[in-house]
Every structure is written in structure tokens, then in C-alpha cells.
Structure 1
Amino acid sequence: MFIKNTWYVCAWDHEVPHEGMFARTITGIPVLLYRDSTGAIVALEDRCCHRGAPLSVGRREGDCVRCLYHGLKFDSSGQCVEAPAQDRIPPQARVRKFPVVERHRWVWIWMGDPGRADPALVPDTQWLDHPDWRSQDGYIHYDVNYLLICDNLLDFSHLPFVHPGTLGGSADYAAARPQVERIEGGVRITRWAIDTEAPAFAKAVKTWPGKVDRWNIYNFTIPAVLLMDSGMAPTGTGAREGTRVDAAEFRGCQAITPETANSTHYFFAHPHNFAIDQPEVTASIHQAVVTAFDEDRDIITAQQRSLALGPDFKMVPFAMDAALSQFRWVVQQRLQQEAAEEALQAAQAGAQPVHIVRPAPQTT
């Protein structure tokens, strides 16, 4: 159902406290997050191996966690190190530990094979804490399947219709045909609208003498991470050729993380590199994005309800769906690859050689 061997965003750094604990479900698995005495984040399955009670309703004891159902104590590796009235602790008494990377304000977790968790594979989101950029943290919870949100983000033609007063812009922006390219693990979308009206959220924080040339260039990669170079500059000043004069530039960072089959965590920020000494500008941009994403949630949630009533409904593809269709194909390919790998491992485990012990020859 979900890709396992990949990095998912599971929290903003400030959500994981230096004291206490934080719980969040990722790809259908309950996860407990806390910081040890060095400040490093520990991620354990939030389910005691004894009777399945959540460890998150237990208590911290130094770098350990005690389950408050039967008192089992687990260290930061997930191993049970103490069980009341039990002299011997079974070695299999442990909870799963997940690899974690904390980088540029996001906490990333690897839900698959720990041996394949390469930190070098974590996407670069340097704009979230770069001194030349400003943004505010964003989080929205959706009661929909994560792929419906991916579809929405991969098709910007909806902006003038769902977001006319925020991110949308004029109708000609919807008609701008994007260029879609396949990249490793996803797609790249390049979209230009020349000589168009600036969207409302940009007009609220910056002024231009006339119309603008507007761009959205972004990579959308597994599991569902959008990193976008977007902005606008006065028409005819060379933005499309690489010269950005009097431009409003943004570096959107968005991560869509499945909670369950029908619920999703959405982490986002919209860093900008102009007026960075004016917090009111950052707040205005953030609020416009939040309002727009709430508009997205309304239509996508209505879509989810509609689709749930018609499980046999078949969507009719249009040219505007090129990017989302390609991304869904990439996801399906990865799921099939992981399923094949798991089947092979299971087959190999079941084909272990059988050692026959023969009785020693009798001596006379």
C-alpha cells in the first residue's frame, strides 16, 4: 500500500520536545518520537511488544520509556531492559526502532529496511532555515488518501478556479501548458505564464508597474515531496532567460506523508528572499498559502467522499493530467519493485537447506 524504503517527513523539529514525548502515525504504523540526553531524536514503534499498549501514554525515564500498562521499560534502541517481577527478559522483547534524520527543520523517518536508510537520500530543503530566506511552518491534516493531494499539486491548472483570491491569478494562467519531464524517482514540471496578472498573494506584499512573467518550476519525487522554484518578475525583463529583475522569488517546500490509507499529514513552507526583515510580509505570504491549502482541502475532501460512493468510478484523463499520471506510474513501479523484493526474500528464507542429522554408527 505504501512505499517503505524511502524517507518520509514525520514532524517539524519543534514538534519533538526535549522533555516528554510526541506520537504520530506514519504509513499506518504508530511512531513514538522523543529526544535523548544528547538532543538526538529517537523513533520507536509506539506499541509495547507485550500487549500492544501505546508507549506514548507511558513515561520517560532518562533515555528510556516505560510502558504504564505492565511496567516494561525500553531503552533508546527499543530493547526491553526491565520487566517487573521478571528475572529473565526474553531477547525478542523489543520494539522496532526507525532511522531518523533531522535536517533543515524537518524530521525524516525511514519506515523500511534500516540497512538501506542512506541519509544522503534526504531531499535538500535548505531554504527552510537559510539566513537569506524567510518562512513560517505549516501543517495540515487531511482525511483523504495522500495520492489525491499529490494529484492536486501536480496539476496547477486548478489554481485560477480553486484559488482565485489567493494563489490563482488570471484565467490565462490556467491555459499555460506545462512541460513535464521524467526524473529519477518522480517528475519535473516547468510552467511559464508570460505577460499575466500577478496573483493576489503577491500583490499584497509587492508591487510592479504592470503585468508580470510568472514561473513554477518544481520537482515532485517519491514518496511525495515537492520542491519548487516559483515567482514572478516584470514582463519583458528576462526572467525566462534567467535574469530575475525586481522579482518575487519563492522556494516552496512541501511534503505529503501518508498517515493511513485515508488520512494524510501535509507539511509545508513557502520561503521568500525579499523583504526578509519584514515579518509582516512573511506572515502575509504564509496566511495566503494556508488559506489556499484550506481551499484545496475542501475540494479534495469532497472528491474523496464522492469517490468513496463510487468505487468502480473510472477517471477520464485529460492532457492537463500528464504530470500526475506519470507520478502515479512511478509510485506504482516502486510498489511493485518492493513487493517483488519481499517475495524473493520470503522465498529465499523458505528455501534454507535442511540439515539431516544421521545417527552415529553403532560400534560392536
Structure 2
Amino acid sequence: MLLRNCWYVAAWSSEVTSDAGGGLLARTIVNLPVVLWRDAAGSVIAFEDRCCHRGAPLSRGRKEGDRLRCMYHGLLFDRDGRCIEIPSQDRVPPQARVRRFPVVERHNWIWLWPGNPALADESLIPDTHWLDDPGWRSLQGYTHYRTNYLLICDNLLDLAHLPYVHPTTLGGDEAYSRFPPKVERLERGVRITRWATGIKPAGFAQAIMNWPGNVDRWNIYDFLVPGIFLMDSGMQPAGTGAQAGHRLDAAEFRGCQALTPETEDSTHYFFAHPHNFALDRPEVTEAIHANVVKAFEEDSAMIHAQDAMLKLDPGFRMVPIAADAALTQYRRLVAKLAAAEAAAAAAAPAAAPAAAG
């Protein structure tokens, strides 16, 4: 159930350098080997990481300005993926080319479309401007999972786990999980709104803000296909009007996270947790990032343990509870889109002869 016709985060911009002597990043995305590199102007190019000649990885190749040379037999490809030189012969066959993927670099993320390029609508890329907005600060994060991405989606779609999995990091008061979220359907995802009022602050925020008492906490986020998590979250002293829109003495964050399936059983996870306070204190940004990294390690341990249990009994049926509403709706949406892609792929061969005629 790996979708192709959507934008995936392929890398942080900083991962793809302009280094003339290297600068080739190999990454597998939805079972497709990809090599990312920059041309002479600094624009990101994404090729299938497989030379059309003998299938050697182009990520072991060499950049030559706007061109990429395979270092197995020397075939040279232009920035469109067309082979323009074969050292052992004068004629280059017209079919000698490699696939080039649509890419967009925006707000420090490099987005890649692995499906039908004719459907690559850039307006579907969500807004993540907090990643490079001067009014916000964060550090870049990446982790790798050896599980299917949908288990990670489940985790993010039900934050009732926060006080249990993350009691000393992002979690805090177990009373948080007793406040039910509001779940709304979106065209390409779901929106979850949870307010927990009059609870103890999470330790990571209390260490920075030093509030004298309880807080009102909010987590308002969109979870969008194919696995993009964009959250407005924070907390401030209880009863000071946060829920009415008055944010005073608040710790505010804009979580930006992206799940990119590597294969059916492995996932790339890109994340940052921008904040808009204490911008002149880098140690605060570092402390927030360290807590997020620790919390994600806690998530990883739980999800990998869950994955191991599920693999012991493929027939195991999960018992749904009310807190599963968002993840149930999201999984249904993914299944619907996957079925539509499969139907379109099945119809394509039959349609080809008619189009040719």
C-alpha cells in the first residue's frame, strides 16, 4: 500500500551538496532507487539510481557540471536523464536514458514525486515555512525505522500515548489522555484538535518556561497524505485564554514531520520542532531538539516492539477504541488512494493501443 502519485520528502536540502567531487545522495523511496544531486546552477536533480546500460548505481558516479557520468562503463547523462555519450561507440541509442523524477526544493526540504510525472501538481506540497522562517528556530532531524510507515502514522494520529510513552520528555500529565480530540476529515488527510486544560506541564517545556502552576495544552495538527504531520502545539498558564486565541507566556511550536516509505518494511522519518520564543538562546533550541530526539527514540522502541509482536501472528486483529478515530479515517483514505492507483495502472496497458491508433 505504497502510494506513488504524491509528494514525498526525499531529503533535507543540506544533505544534497554542490560538491563538485561528490555530492551524490543515494536514497530508496517507495522501493525506487533514487540519486539526488545538484547541477552547476545548484538546482536539485533526481534520477533513478540505476544506469540504463547494466544497472549499476549512478550514485557511484561522477558529476561533470550539468551532467552525471556512470563510473562503470562511462555513459554520460545530461540533466534530463538522456545519455549523450558512450565512450566505446559514436552512436547513442535513443532509448539510452534514465528516469528523472519531478523534484521541488522548498523550505529546506526536497520533495520528490515518484509516480506519473503528468500528475505532479506542486500545489499539493503543504506549507512548511516554519523550517526556514526567521521568526522560528529549530534543528534538523532524521531517523530510520525498520517498520512499515503506517505503524508510525498510527502513532502520530493518536497522541493519547504521550504521557505513557514519553512521561519525562514530551508527555507529562496522564490527565492529558482523558481529553478527547476532535477529528475532522480533510480532502487529503485529517485534522486533529485536542485541548487539555488545567494539567501539569510537560517536563521539557516546564524546564524552559518555569510556570508556577498548571497549564492549558493544545495539539492542533493536520496529518496529510502521504504521511506529513504539521502541528500547532503548545502550552501556557491555565485559564489565561489560550483556547480563545490569546496566547500569553506561551511555549509555542510548529512541528513539521514527514514519513517517507523506503520499502514496505522500512521508513525515512524527517522532523523538526520549530519554536518562536527565546530565539536569541541557541541552548533552548538545542534542549528542545534533544528532548524531541529522545522522545522519538522512545516511539521507535515501542513501535519496533509492536511490529515484532504483529509479525509473530499475521492474523492478529486489533481491537479498536474511540481514540482510533483519526487513524482509522486516515488508513481508509490511504486504502482508497492506493486502490485508485492500482485501477489506473491496470487500465493503462489496455488504453495504450487505443491512444496509439
- TM-score band by shorter chain is over 0.9
Q: CA deviation at 1:94?
A: 0.5
Q: Corresponding residue for 2:257?
A: 254
Amino acid at match of 2:37: Y
2:273 matched residue in structure 1 = 270
2:309 matches 1:306: yes
Give secondary structure in 2 for the equivalent of 1:249. Answer: strand
Q: Which residue of 2 aligns with 1:2?
A: 2
Quote the Cα distance in structure 1 between the aligned partners of 2:65 and 2:130. 34
Displacement of 1:58 in angstroms is: 1.5
For residues 134 and 185 of structure 2, what CA distance do their matches in structure 1 show?
32
Number of the residue aligned with 1:45: 48
d(CA) in 2 for partners of 1:65, 1:40: 14
Q: Which residue of 2 aligns with 1:14?
A: 14
Distance in 1 of aligned mates of 2:356 and 2:182: 54
Q: Against the structure 1 CA distance between its residues 68 and 243, is the aligned structure 2 distance closer, same or farther, given a 3 Å change threshold?
A: same
Q: Structure 1: how far apart are the matches of 2:279 and 2:355?
A: 62
| Alignment correspondent of 2:125 | 122
Deviation at 1:256, TM superposition (A): 0.4
- Post-superposition offset of 1:103: 0.5
Q: How does 1:105-116 map to 2 (within 5 A)?
A: 105-116=108-119
Identify unmatched segments of 5+ residues in structure 1: 355-364
What residue is the counterpart of 1:32 in the other structure?
A: 35
Determine helix, strand or coil for the equivalent of 2:138: coil
Q: Which residue of 2 aligns with 1:211?
A: 214
* Identical residues among aligned pairs (%): 61
For residues 230-283 of structure 1, the C-alpha deviation after alignment (integer angstroms, 9 at most, x for no partner) is 000111111111111111100000000000111100000000001011000000
Give the Cα separation in 2 of the matches to 1:268 and 1:65: 30
Distance apart, 1:12 and its partner CA: 0.4
CA–CA separation in structure 1 for the residues paired with 2:261 and 2:356: 40
**Residue 346 (structure 1) shift:** 2.1
> What is residue 281 of structure 1 aligned with on the other side?
284
- 1:357 aligned residue: none
Paired residue for 2:239?
236
Q: What is residue 230 of structure 2 aligned with on the other side?
A: 227
Alpha-carbon separation, structure 2, partners of 1:148 and 1:352: 41
**Structure 2: gaps (5+ residues):** none
With 145-154 and 56-65 compared, the bigger mean Cα shift is at 56-65
Q: Secondary structure at the match of 1:251?
A: strand
Answering whether residue 189 of structure 2 is matched by residue 186 of structure 1, we say yes
Matched, 1:134 2:137: yes
Q: What letter corresponds to residue 39 of structure 1 in structure 2?
A: G
Query: How far is the alpha carbon of 1:350 from its aligned partner?
Result: 4.2
Out of 42, 55, 60, which is 1:57 matched to? 60
Kindly state the Cα deviation for residue 323 of structure 1 after the two structures are TM-superposed.
0.6
Q: Alignment partner for residue 67 of structure 1, among 62, 66, 70?
A: 70
Question: What is the total number of aligned residue pairs between the two structures?
Answer: 354
Q: Is 1:348–2:354 an aligned residue pair?
A: no
Distance of aligned partners of 1:85 and 1:248 in 2 relative to their CA distance in 1, 3 Å threshold: same
Compute the RMSD of aligned alpha carbons: 1.1
Query: In the alignment, which of 81, 84, 88 is matched to residue 81 of structure 1?
Result: 84
The CA deviation at 1:353 is 7.5
Greater Cα shift, 91-100 or 334-343 = 334-343
Give the partner amino acid of 1:225. I
Q: Which residue of 2 aligns with 1:97?
A: 100
- Which residue number in structure 2 is paired with residue 198 of structure 1? 201
Cα deviations by residue, 1:139-174 (Å, 9 ceiling, x for unpaired): 001111000000000011111111000011111111
1:326 maps to 2:329? yes
Q: How far 1:343 sits from its partner (Å)?
A: 2.1
Residue 228 of structure 1 aligns to which amino acid in structure 2? M
Partner secondary structure for residue 294 of structure 2: helix
Tell me: CA distance 1:97–1:333, structure 2 relative to 1, closer, same or farther (3 Å): same
Supply the AA of the counterpart residue of 2:105: E
> d(CA) in 2 for partners of 1:118 and 1:154?
26
Deviations 1:89-142 (A, max 9, x none): 111111000011000010000111112212222110010010110000000011
Secondary structure at the aligned position of 1:124 is classed as: coil
SS in 2 for 1:240: helix
Corresponding residue SS for 2:55 = coil
Normalised TM-score (structure 2): 0.97
Structure 1 consecutive aligned stretches of length 4 or more whose deviation exceeds 4 Å: 350-354
Write out per-residue CA displacement over residues 65-107 of structure 1, whole angstroms, 9 at most, x where no aligned residue: 1112121111111111111222211111110000110000100
